[in-house]
Amino acid sequence: MTDAVIQITQENHIYTLTIHRPEALNALNKLVFNELEAFFTTHANDPEIKGVIITGAGEKAFVAGADIKEFSSLNADQGMMLSKRGQDIFFLIERFHVPVIAAVNGFALGGGCELAMACHLRIASQSARFGQPEVNLGLIPGYGGSQRLPQLIGKAKAMELLLTGNMVSAEEAFRLGLVNEITDSGNVLNRCREIIQIISTKAPLAIKETIRILENPGLNNSQGYEDEHITFGNLLVTEDSREGASAFAEKRKPSFLGK
Ligand code: CAA
Protein backbone atom coordinates (compact mmCIF):
# COMPACT_ATOMS: atom_id res chain seq x y z
CA MET A 1 0.00 0.00 0.00
CA THR A 2 1.14 3.55 -0.68
CA ASP A 3 -0.07 6.96 0.48
CA ALA A 4 0.08 8.31 -3.07
CA VAL A 5 -2.71 10.66 -4.10
CA ILE A 6 -2.17 9.84 -7.77
CA GLN A 7 -2.63 6.27 -8.92
CA ILE A 8 -0.44 5.49 -11.92
CA THR A 9 -1.11 2.60 -14.28
CA GLN A 10 0.55 1.74 -17.56
CA GLU A 11 -0.55 -0.36 -20.50
CA ASN A 12 1.18 -0.47 -23.89
CA HIS A 13 3.29 2.55 -22.89
CA ILE A 14 0.17 4.66 -22.26
CA TYR A 15 0.08 5.96 -18.69
CA THR A 16 -3.09 6.80 -16.79
CA LEU A 17 -2.77 9.16 -13.82
CA THR A 18 -5.85 9.07 -11.57
CA ILE A 19 -6.03 11.84 -9.00
CA HIS A 20 -7.46 10.17 -5.94
CA ARG A 21 -8.68 12.47 -3.16
CA PRO A 22 -12.37 11.53 -3.05
CA GLU A 23 -12.89 13.27 0.29
CA ALA A 24 -12.12 16.62 -1.41
CA LEU A 25 -13.50 15.85 -4.90
CA ASN A 26 -9.87 15.35 -6.04
CA ALA A 27 -8.89 18.95 -5.22
CA LEU A 28 -5.28 19.84 -5.99
CA ASN A 29 -3.14 20.04 -2.87
CA LYS A 30 0.64 20.02 -2.38
CA LEU A 31 0.84 16.24 -2.61
CA VAL A 32 -0.96 16.15 -5.95
CA PHE A 33 1.42 18.80 -7.29
CA ASN A 34 4.48 16.91 -6.02
CA GLU A 35 3.33 13.70 -7.65
CA LEU A 36 2.44 15.39 -10.96
CA GLU A 37 5.85 17.07 -10.99
CA ALA A 38 7.63 13.79 -10.22
CA PHE A 39 5.83 11.96 -13.03
CA PHE A 40 6.33 14.58 -15.73
CA THR A 41 10.00 15.22 -14.86
CA THR A 42 10.82 11.49 -14.61
CA HIS A 43 9.32 10.84 -18.05
CA ALA A 44 10.45 14.09 -19.71
CA ASN A 45 12.84 12.26 -22.05
CA ASP A 46 11.19 8.85 -22.04
CA PRO A 47 11.40 7.59 -25.64
CA GLU A 48 9.00 4.69 -24.98
CA ILE A 49 6.02 6.60 -23.62
CA LYS A 50 3.16 7.03 -26.10
CA GLY A 51 0.89 9.32 -24.14
CA VAL A 52 -0.62 10.19 -20.79
CA ILE A 53 -4.23 10.33 -19.61
CA ILE A 54 -5.11 12.43 -16.56
CA THR A 55 -8.40 11.74 -14.82
CA GLY A 56 -10.10 11.98 -11.42
CA ALA A 57 -11.19 9.10 -9.21
CA GLY A 58 -14.92 8.42 -9.08
CA GLU A 59 -17.86 9.60 -11.15
CA LYS A 60 -18.48 12.91 -9.44
CA ALA A 61 -15.36 14.94 -10.09
CA PHE A 62 -12.38 15.24 -12.37
CA VAL A 63 -10.86 17.87 -10.05
CA ALA A 64 -12.97 20.41 -8.08
CA GLY A 65 -10.19 23.00 -8.04
CA ALA A 66 -7.30 24.02 -5.87
CA ASP A 67 -7.72 22.85 -2.29
CA ILE A 68 -9.59 25.82 -0.81
CA LYS A 69 -8.94 24.60 2.71
CA GLU A 70 -5.19 25.20 2.24
CA PHE A 71 -5.75 28.89 1.40
CA SER A 72 -6.56 30.32 4.82
CA SER A 73 -3.04 29.93 6.25
CA LEU A 74 -1.26 31.58 3.31
CA ASN A 75 0.11 35.13 3.15
CA ALA A 76 0.39 37.05 -0.15
CA ASP A 77 3.92 35.81 -0.96
CA GLN A 78 2.93 32.21 -0.26
CA GLY A 79 -0.19 32.71 -2.42
CA MET A 80 1.99 33.96 -5.28
CA MET A 81 4.34 31.00 -4.82
CA LEU A 82 1.43 28.54 -4.79
CA SER A 83 0.06 30.05 -7.99
CA LYS A 84 3.50 30.07 -9.64
CA ARG A 85 4.05 26.44 -8.62
CA GLY A 86 0.75 25.42 -10.17
CA GLN A 87 1.60 27.33 -13.34
CA ASP A 88 5.05 25.69 -13.55
CA ILE A 89 3.69 22.18 -13.09
CA PHE A 90 1.01 22.80 -15.70
CA PHE A 91 3.75 24.03 -18.09
CA LEU A 92 5.46 20.63 -17.62
CA ILE A 93 2.22 19.05 -18.85
CA GLU A 94 1.66 21.51 -21.69
CA ARG A 95 5.27 21.07 -22.86
CA PHE A 96 5.36 17.27 -22.57
CA HIS A 97 6.72 15.59 -25.71
CA VAL A 98 3.81 13.19 -26.28
CA PRO A 99 0.07 13.89 -25.99
CA VAL A 100 -1.47 14.39 -22.59
CA ILE A 101 -5.25 14.00 -22.59
CA ALA A 102 -7.64 15.05 -19.84
CA ALA A 103 -10.38 12.43 -19.35
CA VAL A 104 -12.96 14.66 -17.71
CA ASN A 105 -15.52 12.85 -15.59
CA GLY A 106 -17.72 15.20 -13.53
CA PHE A 107 -16.68 18.57 -12.10
CA ALA A 108 -13.66 20.34 -13.63
CA LEU A 109 -13.71 23.60 -11.69
CA GLY A 110 -11.10 26.28 -10.99
CA GLY A 111 -7.71 24.53 -10.89
CA GLY A 112 -9.42 21.42 -12.30
CA CYS A 113 -10.56 23.25 -15.42
CA GLU A 114 -7.06 24.78 -15.58
CA LEU A 115 -5.48 21.32 -15.37
CA ALA A 116 -7.71 20.09 -18.20
CA MET A 117 -6.78 23.15 -20.28
CA ALA A 118 -3.04 22.52 -19.77
CA CYS A 119 -3.52 19.08 -21.35
CA HIS A 120 -3.25 18.86 -25.14
CA LEU A 121 -6.76 17.43 -25.62
CA ARG A 122 -9.90 17.09 -23.48
CA ILE A 123 -12.36 14.20 -23.76
CA ALA A 124 -15.40 14.61 -21.54
CA SER A 125 -18.18 12.38 -20.28
CA GLN A 126 -21.74 13.64 -20.66
CA SER A 127 -21.82 14.46 -16.96
CA ALA A 128 -18.74 16.72 -17.06
CA ARG A 129 -19.12 20.31 -15.84
CA PHE A 130 -16.58 23.06 -16.43
CA GLY A 131 -16.12 26.43 -14.76
CA GLN A 132 -13.82 28.98 -13.18
CA PRO A 133 -15.68 29.89 -9.97
CA GLU A 134 -12.79 31.82 -8.35
CA VAL A 135 -14.83 35.06 -8.15
CA ASN A 136 -17.02 33.30 -5.56
CA LEU A 137 -13.87 33.10 -3.41
CA GLY A 138 -12.68 36.66 -4.02
CA LEU A 139 -10.00 35.35 -6.37
CA ILE A 140 -8.94 34.99 -9.99
CA PRO A 141 -7.67 31.72 -11.51
CA GLY A 142 -4.13 30.97 -10.36
CA TYR A 143 -2.96 28.07 -12.51
CA GLY A 144 -2.98 29.63 -15.97
CA GLY A 145 -6.76 29.83 -16.48
CA SER A 146 -6.80 33.57 -17.13
CA GLN A 147 -4.45 32.92 -20.08
CA ARG A 148 -5.57 29.55 -21.47
CA LEU A 149 -9.34 30.02 -21.28
CA PRO A 150 -9.41 33.00 -23.70
CA GLN A 151 -6.91 31.16 -25.95
CA LEU A 152 -9.23 28.17 -26.17
CA ILE A 153 -12.68 29.76 -26.33
CA GLY A 154 -12.08 33.44 -27.18
CA LYS A 155 -12.18 36.52 -25.00
CA ALA A 156 -15.95 37.15 -24.96
CA LYS A 157 -16.96 33.75 -23.59
CA ALA A 158 -13.89 33.56 -21.34
CA MET A 159 -14.82 36.93 -19.85
CA GLU A 160 -18.38 35.70 -19.26
CA LEU A 161 -17.29 32.47 -17.52
CA LEU A 162 -14.65 34.24 -15.41
CA LEU A 163 -16.96 37.10 -14.35
CA THR A 164 -20.04 35.00 -13.58
CA GLY A 165 -18.27 31.91 -12.21
CA ASN A 166 -21.00 29.92 -13.99
CA MET A 167 -20.51 26.25 -14.82
CA VAL A 168 -21.13 24.92 -18.33
CA SER A 169 -22.28 21.45 -19.33
CA ALA A 170 -20.17 19.08 -21.43
CA GLU A 171 -22.32 19.94 -24.49
CA GLU A 172 -21.80 23.68 -23.97
CA ALA A 173 -18.06 23.14 -23.40
CA PHE A 174 -17.93 21.17 -26.67
CA ARG A 175 -19.79 23.95 -28.50
CA LEU A 176 -17.34 26.51 -27.10
CA GLY A 177 -14.31 24.48 -28.20
CA LEU A 178 -13.16 23.78 -24.67
CA VAL A 179 -13.71 20.05 -25.13
CA ASN A 180 -12.61 17.99 -28.14
CA GLU A 181 -15.17 15.20 -27.81
CA ILE A 182 -17.94 13.99 -25.55
CA THR A 183 -18.47 10.30 -24.97
CA ASP A 184 -20.40 7.99 -22.60
CA SER A 185 -18.94 8.02 -19.12
CA GLY A 186 -17.91 4.38 -19.34
CA ASN A 187 -15.99 5.03 -22.54
CA VAL A 188 -13.90 8.13 -21.77
CA LEU A 189 -10.67 6.33 -20.88
CA ASN A 190 -10.96 3.94 -23.83
CA ARG A 191 -11.51 6.82 -26.21
CA CYS A 192 -8.42 8.60 -24.82
CA ARG A 193 -6.37 5.43 -25.32
CA GLU A 194 -7.63 5.13 -28.91
CA ILE A 195 -6.60 8.71 -29.68
CA ILE A 196 -3.15 8.22 -28.17
CA GLN A 197 -2.77 4.98 -30.11
CA ILE A 198 -3.56 6.81 -33.37
CA ILE A 199 -1.13 9.65 -32.58
CA SER A 200 1.59 7.14 -31.66
CA THR A 201 1.57 5.81 -35.24
CA LYS A 202 2.68 9.25 -36.53
CA ALA A 203 6.26 10.52 -36.71
CA PRO A 204 7.46 11.13 -33.13
CA LEU A 205 9.58 14.18 -33.97
CA ALA A 206 6.67 15.76 -35.83
CA ILE A 207 4.37 15.12 -32.84
CA LYS A 208 6.89 16.65 -30.46
CA GLU A 209 7.38 19.71 -32.68
CA THR A 210 3.63 20.14 -33.23
CA ILE A 211 3.12 20.31 -29.49
CA ARG A 212 6.01 22.75 -29.11
CA ILE A 213 5.02 25.04 -31.96
CA LEU A 214 1.44 25.44 -30.72
CA GLU A 215 2.89 26.93 -27.56
CA ASN A 216 4.48 29.79 -29.53
CA PRO A 217 4.97 33.35 -28.29
CA GLY A 218 2.04 34.55 -30.39
CA LEU A 219 -0.30 32.50 -28.23
CA ASN A 220 1.58 32.55 -24.95
CA ASN A 221 2.16 35.81 -23.20
CA SER A 222 4.54 35.15 -20.31
CA GLN A 223 3.71 38.58 -18.85
CA GLY A 224 0.12 37.38 -18.49
CA TYR A 225 1.15 34.38 -16.38
CA GLU A 226 3.32 36.59 -14.16
CA ASP A 227 0.49 39.06 -13.70
CA GLU A 228 -1.81 36.14 -12.83
CA HIS A 229 0.30 34.72 -9.99
CA ILE A 230 1.06 38.15 -8.48
CA THR A 231 -2.63 39.13 -8.55
CA PHE A 232 -3.67 35.74 -7.17
CA GLY A 233 -1.33 36.18 -4.17
CA ASN A 234 -2.49 39.74 -3.52
CA LEU A 235 -6.18 38.80 -3.69
CA LEU A 236 -5.69 35.76 -1.46
CA VAL A 237 -5.07 37.99 1.58
CA THR A 238 -8.04 40.33 1.04
CA GLU A 239 -10.89 40.20 3.56
CA ASP A 240 -13.20 39.08 0.76
CA SER A 241 -11.02 36.10 -0.13
CA ARG A 242 -10.73 35.02 3.52
CA GLU A 243 -14.54 35.36 3.77
CA GLY A 244 -14.98 33.35 0.53
CA ALA A 245 -12.86 30.44 1.80
CA SER A 246 -14.54 30.48 5.25
CA ALA A 247 -18.01 30.58 3.67
CA PHE A 248 -17.08 27.59 1.47
CA ALA A 249 -15.84 25.57 4.47
CA GLU A 250 -18.90 26.55 6.54
CA LYS A 251 -21.29 25.81 3.63
CA ARG A 252 -22.89 29.29 3.62
CA LYS A 253 -23.13 32.22 1.20
CA PRO A 254 -20.18 34.64 1.40
CA SER A 255 -20.74 38.26 2.33
CA PHE A 256 -18.29 40.42 0.36
CA LEU A 257 -17.33 43.97 1.40
CA GLY A 258 -14.96 44.96 -1.39
CA LYS A 259 -11.95 44.90 0.96
N1 CAA B 1 -11.13 22.28 -2.02
C2 CAA B 1 -11.27 21.60 -0.86
N3 CAA B 1 -12.32 20.78 -0.58
C4 CAA B 1 -13.26 20.66 -1.54
C5 CAA B 1 -13.18 21.34 -2.78
C6 CAA B 1 -12.05 22.17 -3.00
N7 CAA B 1 -11.86 22.83 -4.16
N8 CAA B 1 -14.28 21.03 -3.51
C9 CAA B 1 -15.01 20.18 -2.75
N10 CAA B 1 -14.40 19.95 -1.58
C11 CAA B 1 -14.87 19.11 -0.48
C12 CAA B 1 -16.04 19.76 0.25
O13 CAA B 1 -15.58 20.71 1.22
C14 CAA B 1 -16.71 18.55 0.87
O15 CAA B 1 -15.97 18.17 2.00
P16 CAA B 1 -16.75 17.80 3.40
O17 CAA B 1 -17.53 16.56 3.05
O18 CAA B 1 -15.62 17.56 4.34
O19 CAA B 1 -17.63 18.96 3.72
C20 CAA B 1 -16.50 17.46 -0.19
O21 CAA B 1 -15.41 17.91 -1.01
C22 CAA B 1 -17.72 17.28 -1.09
O23 CAA B 1 -18.07 18.54 -1.63
P24 CAA B 1 -19.54 19.20 -1.47
O25 CAA B 1 -20.20 18.73 -0.24
O26 CAA B 1 -19.38 20.68 -1.65
O27 CAA B 1 -20.26 18.55 -2.74
P28 CAA B 1 -21.50 19.15 -3.54
O29 CAA B 1 -21.97 18.07 -4.43
O30 CAA B 1 -22.48 19.81 -2.64
O31 CAA B 1 -20.84 20.32 -4.46
C32 CAA B 1 -19.17 21.29 -5.87
C33 CAA B 1 -19.88 20.00 -5.44
C34 CAA B 1 -20.17 22.21 -6.63
C35 CAA B 1 -18.04 20.91 -6.82
C36 CAA B 1 -18.64 22.03 -4.62
O37 CAA B 1 -17.87 21.10 -3.85
C38 CAA B 1 -17.77 23.21 -4.91
O39 CAA B 1 -18.26 24.27 -5.26
N40 CAA B 1 -16.44 23.05 -4.78
C41 CAA B 1 -15.50 24.14 -4.92
C42 CAA B 1 -15.30 24.49 -6.37
C43 CAA B 1 -14.36 25.67 -6.49
O44 CAA B 1 -14.66 26.76 -6.04
N45 CAA B 1 -13.21 25.48 -7.15
C46 CAA B 1 -12.24 26.50 -7.32
C47 CAA B 1 -11.23 26.48 -6.20
S48 CAA B 1 -10.17 27.89 -6.22
C49 CAA B 1 -9.04 27.57 -7.41
O50 CAA B 1 -9.04 26.51 -8.04
C51 CAA B 1 -8.06 28.68 -7.59
C52 CAA B 1 -7.05 28.46 -8.63
O53 CAA B 1 -7.27 28.66 -9.78
C54 CAA B 1 -5.71 28.18 -8.23
- DSSP assignment string, 166-190: --EEHHHHHHHTS-SEEE-GGGHHH
d(CA 244, CA 183) in angstroms, rounded, equals 35
Task: Give CA separation, 248 vs 60, 113, 145, 231, 252, in Å.
Answer: 18, 19, 21, 21, 6
Q: Is residue 257 part of a domain?
A: no
Question: Is there a single domain that holds both residue 181 and residue 231?
Answer: no
pLDDT score at 40: 98
63 touches ligand 1 (CB under 6 Å): no
Is the torsion defined by CA of 135, 137, 139, 140 positive or negative?
negative
Question: Is there a single domain that holds both residue 131 and residue 230?
Answer: no
At 50 the three-state DSSP class reads coil
Q: Is residue 50 part of a domain?
A: yes
Question: Is there a single domain that holds both residue 189 and residue 218?
Answer: no
At 44 the three-state DSSP class reads coil
At 55 the three-state DSSP class reads strand
Helix residue spans in the chain (DSSP H): 30-42, 76-94, 111-118, 145-153, 155-164, 170-176, 188-199, 204-213, 222-236, 239-249
pLDDT per residue of the chain (259 residues) written in tens, 0 to 9: 468 999 999 999 999 999 999 999 999 999 999 999 999 999 998 999 999 999 999 999 999 999 999 999 999 999 999 999 999 999 999 999 999 999 999 999 999 999 999 999 999 999 999 999 999 999 999 999 999 999 999 999 999 999 999 999 999 999 999 999 999 989 999 999 999 999 999 999 999 999 998 886 566 778 899 999 999 999 999 999 999 999 999 999 999 998 9
27 touches ligand 1 (CB under 6 Å): yes
Neighbours of 194 (CB within 10 A): 12
Question: Is there a single domain that holds both residue 194 and residue 218?
Answer: no
114 touches ligand 1 (CB under 6 Å): yes
d(CA 158, CA 135) in angstroms, rounded, equals 13
Mutate to test the pocket of ligand 1, among 31, 68, 228 (most ligand atoms within 8 A of CB): 68
Question: Is there a single domain that holds both residue 178 and residue 148?
Answer: yes
Question: Is there a single domain that holds both residue 182 and residue 224?
Answer: no
What is the residue type of 238? T
- The domain in which residue 213 lies consists of 204-250
CATH code of 138's domain: 3.90.226.10
pLDDT score at 215: 84
pLDDT score at 2: 65
- Final residue of a domain: which of 200, 215, 230? 200
Mutate to test the pocket of ligand 1, among 5, 19, 25, 242 (most ligand atoms within 8 A of CB): 25
| Model pTM score | 0.96
Question: Is there a single domain that holds both residue 238 and residue 162?
Answer: no
67 touches ligand 1 (CB under 6 Å): yes
Q: Is residue 255 part of a domain?
A: no
* Ligand 1 geometric centre to CA of 192 (Å): 26
Question: Is there a single domain that holds both residue 212 and residue 193?
Answer: no
Question: Is there a single domain that holds both residue 142 and residue 85?
Answer: yes
Nearest atom within ligand 1 for CA of residue 67: 1
Could you give the number of structural domains in the chain?
A: 2
Question: Is there a single domain that holds both residue 80 and residue 173?
Answer: yes
d(CA 168, CA 176) in angstroms, rounded, equals 10
* Ligand 1 geometric centre to CA of 24 (Å): 6
Sheet with 129-131, edge to edge strand ranges: 61-63, 107-109, 129-131, 168-169
Q: Is residue 1 part of a domain?
A: no
d(CA 253, CA 246) in angstroms, rounded, equals 10
Q: Is residue 43 part of a domain?
A: yes
pLDDT score at 1: 46
Question: Is there a single domain that holds both residue 77 and residue 191?
Answer: yes
Question: Is there a single domain that holds both residue 152 and residue 221?
Answer: no
Q: Is residue 190 part of a domain?
A: yes
